[in-house]
Amino acid sequence: MAAAVRGAVAVGIAAAEARAIGVVILLALAARPGAAQQAHWVMGPQAKLGVQELWARSVAARREQVACLGGFLGADTVLVNRLQPVDETSDSLNASAQLSLATCAPPEWIGVLHSHVRSTDDDTPTSRFSPGDRAVMSEWTQRWGGQGAFCLVYSARNMHCEVYPPRRNRPAPGDSAQ
């Protein structure tokens, strides 16, 4: 009986926490009415394993690694279900983008993932896209004519992903309604 009561209390607390998180998210969205909203990202089991393997190779080689992202780029969700490593010449701070731009093409691929690992005296990888990364993201979307999914992995448990160009909640000035 006591175990059942503890279980019911735990479920009630978890539900209250979930509602509170939902309220916080709604308040945060309301505070930024015109801001671009990022998609929800779902990494399938095969993709998660691929990311872990890419990170392990990157750390062992002390250089950036690159992979094509396969999956689905939806209106509000990005599903990544597979990765395909791309063997590009790179150093610790910069992976060449030419092979990934040519290889990671739609419709088979929705974008590109790369690792941020350094072989310099700073062992702390950066957790955000660099200006060079953003240039590659822009080139990918221009070459393939649409939005792409882009991720960087910067530790064994952390990565940062974005849809680029970002989605907007409302049309920008000059956009026409369709």
Write out pLDDT tens, residues 99-133: 888 899 999 999 999 998 765 666 677 788 988 88
Instruction: Write down the pLDDT at residue 5.
Output: 45
Question: In this predicted model, what pLDDT tens digit does every residue of 123-178 receive, in sequence order?
Answer: 677 788 988 889 999 999 999 999 999 999 999 899 999 999 987 655 545 444 44
DSSP 145: T
Strands of 10-76 (E only): list them: 40-43, 66-73
Question: In this predicted model, what pLDDT tens digit does every residue of 13-62 receive, in sequence order?
Answer: 444 444 433 333 333 333 333 344 568 999 999 999 999 999 999 889 88
Specify whether the CB–CB gap between 78 and 149 falls below 8 A.
yes
How far is C-alpha 37 from the chain's CA centre? Answer: 13
Q: Classify the C-alpha dihedral 166-169-174-178 as positive or negative.
A: positive
Specify whether the CB–CB gap between 47 and 84 falls below 8 A.
no
CATH topology of domain 40-164: Cytidine Deaminase; domain 2 (3.40.140)
Instruction: Write down the pLDDT at residue 23.
Output: 33
